[in-house]
Structure 1
């Protein structure tokens, strides 16, 4: 049956991350009741504020406070917890797979593609079996429990070779995610050793492997050099211009010939656009991202909008120096793109012209553990405690909803007064193990 002309437009948002959440928030604030319905589709019922994942993994923030529940926040939107499996613009519908495995078709009049990115894996032997990614709250919780469980295991064995393997932690990737996760977890583990009679901080081995000749490409090179020096002062081994060749059975082989055993391999070496896009009928660039216009519409498809990691959005702030410049795939752009996109969608619905997205990058901040950080903001660089404070101040201002801001600040205050909790809850990773053991006895 044809839809009546007076019926509200169906806006479907694929993805509930930065872009999806902020676009939906903007739409629910600006749309009138009869203008459009908004449906958000994501495999998780929450948005994850990824800059806080390292602190959640290190125990400085309660993991539940790093996520924003979609249904609670998007009160005027429909939320579907499902995975997008197919996009067909020609048929004006998307196929989704529910948690129980059944599939459904969801029709749309206006589509927002905000599927983000996934970990980019390399054909390295052993990576798929040994690697741990660091993009979701589940992975952050798993990694925290994993690291603490390795300390427990090492404290309970007399096998020195096994002990060295258990206490060796390898991180591959020198971007923000890898550096902050490494720094926070090293800080946490070093603090935890005071509760182990037979483990000293010097027994822990932390290794960073980066293929490029520098780390933290988002900040000026001098701050990247400073960060390496600070990590090395803490005993962290940094391998630059070095490739990982193999991780089979936890035996790490690097391109410079270095070999060692490691029971923890964290992979943060890059991301790629969500692979669902590759099977769609939407125009993509050579890196699998949607080709976007400055108004955040997909090229040639005015009823399809996109932003964030899965979009190649022209960076108008650098257009004079580089006509092909694209916006960096970071949260700073994603949030602002989402806000502009929501305004543009409403403008088009009301027969007005959409505006181009323009934002000049203000800089970046990174935490290197408790009271340590680097910052490069408005061409002003900062180090140490000041940069760490800037990092916390910036991100607590950016995390969505007052509820989450208050809870995060409360977590910081409590962890500062009472110190962080250092305990492994490894049973969370396999909660049925004890039940299964008893059932077999």
Structure 2
């Protein structure tokens, strides 16, 4: 059998493997998926994981459970040597090893873009994976518990100050959902007043949500500010050493929580460690049919899609935007085209007419835009939930998410922080003695 190796289990890789598993005949080809995480993270649900509206595990889809036709290798591809039809895999433990293949599918995805801002690497949390969303939520809940027993002052204000850097979909949705959670928590914490909450959203450009119209973006800013958020446009973070944030507009404040969502960068494996053709931005050069190469010449036995590929946009010109809508549909087309190519049939170009943009801004708040149609508030929020519960892969995950939403509607969100799982041995080592926040941090 030919071996099809899929590098990365994100949207494009997961859907390619999932659909190929259904299309391939028994014995036609062997599927291998290599990814450090044994699950697909459904990133549109991460803002709701922040807010406690969705259980963390429900935003993750198990590869071993649903990719039954594929062999899953838990590890990170560090080198792609297509000339030798081989990749180097670094597992979590042990030495690196090589895996050979007959056909490769590069869907390694993007990584969080970072800038050399003092203090950011030491203090900030990203928002691309489930564990990051859980950490952000637990950090806020723990801060409320700590602030509630402190007298008014600098430390209490620091604990009740939250900073998001980046005004794209991840940043704005995460900011809106966490602000919604914090506002709801005030009912459970009578010691804390609304005026003590400080939520800062920092964006380097002159607008947020570039996928929607400028007018719609301004409405979102007004909505967030009307709920107590502070939006800093045309502003960058100059420093965040020890949680003391210095902005380019002259504003300074101390914050306990910094969430970094300032866009994506090319995957270093694709940018530096492959012999496949790449663009100046470090993306794999692909044709409209998702084969690696140019219209003049394709690279044999190589395919790519998703955030690590420069996919031509045959509908609007240029290249497709790196988002979930495109990655999911490109993954499905990968499966169709790869199966067709194995059987000597014609492959199809990728062409997708956008379905519009929809964003959640917190419970009961959202915005949807399709061409000149703009819907705001509760209807847009319902559309957001409806679209994503249909889009999340597998019926098992759809049912679990719907069950959690129904439970939350009846009983409210779960506000228990499990930050202590980061130090599970404290109770055992301490012998039942109370462990302070500072002691836990040192351990």
Match among 152, 163, 166 for residue 159 of structure 2: 166
> What is the CA RMSD across the aligned residues, in angstroms?
1.4
State the alpha-carbon separation in 2 of the partners of residues 342 and 424 from structure 1: 41
Secondary structure of the residue that 1:51 maps to in structure 2?
A: helix
Query: Does the alignment pair 1:279 with 2:234?
Result: no
State the alpha-carbon separation in 1 of the partners of residues 167 and 143 from structure 2: 23
State the alpha-carbon separation in 2 of the partners of residues 123 and 377 from structure 1: 37
The residue number in structure 2 matching 1:101 is 94
Aligned positions of 1:71-82 closer than 5 A: 71-82=64-75
Aligned positions of 1:12-23 closer than 5 A: 12-23=5-16
Match among 300, 303, 309 for residue 302 of structure 1: 300
C-alpha deviation, 1:285, in angstroms: 0.8
Aligned residues of 1:13 and 1:40 also touching (Cα < 8 A): yes
Match among 357, 376, 382 for residue 389 of structure 1: 382
**How many residue pairs are counted as aligned between the two chains?**
429
Task: Name the CA shift for 1:153/1:100 in 2 (closer, same or farther; >3 Å).
Answer: same
Match among 48, 54, 59 for residue 41 of structure 2: 48
The residue number in structure 2 matching 1:204 is 197
State the alpha-carbon separation in 1 of the partners of residues 383 and 300 from structure 2: 39
State the alpha-carbon separation in 1 of the partners of residues 340 and 100 from structure 2: 22
The residue number in structure 2 matching 1:4 is none
Shifted more, 343-352 versus 188-197: the winner is 188-197
What are the ranges of 5 or more consecutive residues in structure 1 without an aligned counterpart?
1-7, 320-324
Shifted more, 329-338 versus 348-357: the winner is 348-357
Aligned residues of 1:362 and 1:378 also touching (Cα < 8 A): no
The residue number in structure 1 matching 2:58 is 65
The residue number in structure 2 matching 1:191 is 184
State the alpha-carbon separation in 1 of the partners of residues 192 and 95 from structure 2: 50
Aligned positions of 1:41-440 closer than 5 A: 41-158=34-151, 160-277=153-270, 278-299=272-293, 300-319=298-317, 325-377=318-370, 379-438=372-431
Task: Name the CA shift for 1:305/1:439 in 2 (closer, same or farther; >3 Å).
Answer: farther
Task: Name the CA shift for 1:378/1:411 in 2 (closer, same or farther; >3 Å).
Answer: farther
C-alpha deviation, 1:438, in angstroms: 4.0
State the alpha-carbon separation in 1 of the partners of residues 4 and 302 from structure 2: 10
The residue number in structure 2 matching 1:5 is none
C-alpha deviation, 1:351, in angstroms: 1.1
What are the ranges of 5 or more consecutive residues in structure 2 without an aligned counterpart?
436-443
Secondary structure of the residue that 1:90 maps to in structure 2?
A: helix
Secondary structure of the residue that 1:368 maps to in structure 2?
A: strand
Match among 4, 18, 21 for residue 25 of structure 1: 18
Aligned residues of 1:174 and 1:269 also touching (Cα < 8 A): yes
Provide Cα deviations, 1:407-429, integer angstroms capped at 9, x if missing partner: 11111111001100112111122
